Amino acid sequence: MALDLFAGIPVTDYTAALAWYERLLGTPPTFFPHDTEAVWGLAEHRYLYIVQRPDGAGSAMHTVIVDDIDTRIAQMAERGLEPTTRQSYPEGMCKFTFHDPDGNEIGFGGVSP
């Protein structure tokens, strides 16, 4: 089964959100569908996007699982972003949660050695 995923995040201030997500993800967007939407390719056929939509801003909740969680979190810290929470789970799993300026929740999880 083929799988494509576009996970959307509504934001109030597109310009401010664009800068914040570039810092979070460490890269500029992969493409811009229109003037108030930006899309990042996270993996093949898997995308995260922001779109200016003030009426829904602050309600997104997404978690991205990565192989290199400690490296990713360290890189985010180097770019000036710290998680708001850190959760530990059995088997060494952990989740770091960030909140964008609107309060949208973006988590990064993985196994921490």
pLDDT tens digits, 75-86: 999 999 999 999
The pLDDT, as a whole number, for residue 14 is: 98
Tokens of 71: 């490296």
The pTM (predicted TM-score) of the whole model is: 0.93
pLDDT tens digits, 30-48: 999 999 999 999 999 999 9
Q: Can you tell me the mean pLDDT for 13-25?
A: 98
Is 113 a residue whose pLDDT tops 90? no
Query: Domain boundaries in the chain?
Result: 5-111
Which DSSP string corresponds to the chain?
----EEEEEEES-HHHHHHHHHHHHTS--SEEEETTEEEEEEETTEEEEEEE-GGGTT--EEEEE-S-HHHHHHHHHHTT---SEEEE-GGGEEEEEEE-TT--EEEEEEE--
The pLDDT, as a whole number, for residue 12 is: 98
The Cα–Cα gap between 56 and 58 comes to: 6
Mean of per-residue pLDDT scores for the chain: 96
Q: Which fold has domain 5-111?
A: 2,3-Dihydroxybiphenyl 1,2-Dioxygenase; domain 1 (3.10.180)
